[in-house]
Amino acid sequence: MSGGIGAEEIYSAIKESARLVDAPFSRDKVWPVLSAFEGGFSDAGGVIFSLQAGEQVAEFEYSVQISPGIADPYAHALANGFFTERDDRPVRALLSEILALAPTSEHYIDCGIVGGFKKIYANFPHDAQKVAKLAEIPSMPRAVGENAEFFARYGLQDVALVGVDCKSKTINLYFQLSAPLAGNLAPQTVRDMLRETGMSEPSDKMLAYAGKAYRVYATLGWDSSEILRISFAPLPRRTIDLAELPARLEPRIAQFMQDTPHKYAGALINATAAKWSKTSEFLDLASYYRVSPLHLKAIEAQK
């Protein structure tokens, strides 16, 4: 494919990066997904590697932009046997209905080197979607509309990205914070959000770090009106000072945040997110192998 990158290149980068953190790795888990979606890879597309901070890395994930080469990523994943339609019918309907409401050619897939194919993302880089409109989609979990008042109260109105987990049957709504709020959430505001949604009690360091978020994302499902997880993500940036992170990193994970291979000029770009579930808090860490020109422009604009 002209202008595209090969599955073998991405595979090699995943393998090298996973070995930095001693993550379990098997070609049989990774190669089938990459080879199936190779027609959608582009030199201008993003590729991101991520994991959770901790003593051991049980899963190492990779997200790859697959547009515009593959117009219907769900159908493509289904055709390649990554899940069955019988188990995921609400997911297929939801993705189709989202794209009918807000067409976009920018999609990502999210996979684990252990868990395989997991999620499909529809990104709206130029036209954020409103919660009220998304809640009207027939196959959207009722939890979106049932939490609309909560979202509005905390300024969570503009959805820049929707992620659909094809296996766990959950969705993520990625809210873009307004300029006055982005990077300036008060600790008490974050604490109130966590308490209202029944999340675990935050540590002081994680609470303060969450206040730097430029996006907040919520995980919801079809079986409950509750928000299952809530996350706070600062803007990705180059050369993160690891001492500023709200968790001590094991040496190999620190190396992942500093030495992951990348295919763009300048220092490595990293992303982080403070996350809470009903039972625990955790820190997600990511390194960009490739970055799209549009995303790079947004990152560089913060200088």
Q: Does residue 90 fall inside a structural domain? A: yes
Quote the percentage of the chain above a pLDDT of 90.
82
Average pLDDT, the chain: 93
The per-residue pLDDT for range 124-166, each reduced to its tens digit, is: 988 899 999 999 999 999 999 999 999 999 999 999 999 999 8
Instruction: Give the pLDDT of residue 38.
Output: 93
Owning domain of residue 12: 7-300
What DSSP line would sit under the chain, residue for residue?
Answer: -TTPPPHHHHHHHHHHHHHHTT----HHHHHHHHHHHGGG--TTS-EEEEEE-SSS-S--EEEEE-TTT-S-HHHHHHHTTSS-HHHHHHHHHHHHHHHHHS----EEEEEETTTEEEEEEEE-SSSPEEHHHHHTSTTS-HHHHHTHHHHHHTT--EEEEEEEETTTTEEEEEEEPPTTTTT---HHHHHHHHHHTTPPPPPHHHHHHHTT-SEEEEEEESS-SS--EEEEEPPPEES--GGGSSSPPPHHHHHHHHH---SSSSSPEEEEEEEE-SS-EEEEEEEEEE--HHHHHHHHTT-
Distance of alpha carbon 280 from alpha carbon 277, whole angstroms: 5
Mean pLDDT, residues 173-181: 96
Q: Does residue 267 fall inside a structural domain? A: yes
CB contact burial 105-144 (16+ within 10 A = b; e otherwise): ebbbbbbbbbeebbbbbbbbeeeebebeebbebeebbebb
227 or 295, which is more confident? 227
84 or 280, which is more confident? 280
Q: Does residue 23 fall inside a structural domain? A: yes
The per-residue pLDDT for range 116-134, each reduced to its tens digit, is: 999 999 999 888 999 999 9
Of 12-16, 267-271, 290-294, the one with minimum mean pLDDT is 290-294
Q: Given a cut of 60, is residue 235 above it in pLDDT?
A: yes
Cβ(240)–Cβ(270) below 8 Å: yes
Q: Given a cut of 50, is residue 1 above it in pLDDT?
A: no
Q: Does residue 136 fall inside a structural domain? A: yes
Instruction: Give the pLDDT of residue 2.
Output: 41
Q: Given a cut of 70, is residue 3 above it in pLDDT?
A: no
Q: Does residue 34 fall inside a structural domain? A: yes
Instruction: Give the pLDDT of residue 152.
Output: 97
Q: Does residue 1 fall inside a structural domain? A: no
The token pair at 75 is: 């159908």
Q: Does residue 2 fall inside a structural domain? A: no
Quote the percentage of the chain above a pLDDT of 70.
97
Q: For residue 167, name the pLDDT band (cuts at 50, 70, 90).
A: confident
Mean pLDDT, residues 191-220: 97
Q: How many domains is the chain partitioned into structurally?
A: 1
Distance of alpha carbon 178 from alpha carbon 216, whole angstroms: 11
The token pair at 174 is: 């990625």
The per-residue pLDDT for range 64-106, each reduced to its tens digit, is: 999 888 988 999 999 999 987 776 668 889 999 999 999 888 9
